[in-house]
Amino acid sequence: FIKTREPLAPYTHLKIGGPAQYLVQPRDADELRAVLAACQKHGLPVRMLGGGHNLLVRDSPIAGAVVRLTSGAFGLIEWDGRRITAGGGAPLFDLIAFAARQGLSGLETLVGL
């Protein structure tokens, strides 16, 4: 869940990136809230790391917490008949495909991001 001085290269598409002071992968929303509260309390910067595509990470250390929302709890995509709701960890391609299966359009322009 929390790793210190974790190299970010394995988490990026280009396999580059220095170590994060803290790499945090919360399992659910409660853990995410606790991490964000702790970072705020201690004045640590927070950066979100998605799929690692289209991203250049410097080789020098990254101060603060780098948060990855990889748990299934953050990848849910739902449709209520009017609105799609997607978790912050849902892959963009999955969201686009889900919308298309519902007969919705507009997100397909995001393919490749």
pLDDT surpasses 90 at 110: no
Residue 22 corresponds to which amino acid?
Answer: Y
pLDDT surpasses 90 at 7: yes
CA distance 99 to 83: 10
Nearest to 28 by CA among 78, 71, 66: 71
Tens of pLDDT, residue by residue over 12-60, are 999 999 999 999 999 999 999 999 999 999 999 999 998 888 889 999 9
Residue 40: per-residue pLDDT: 98
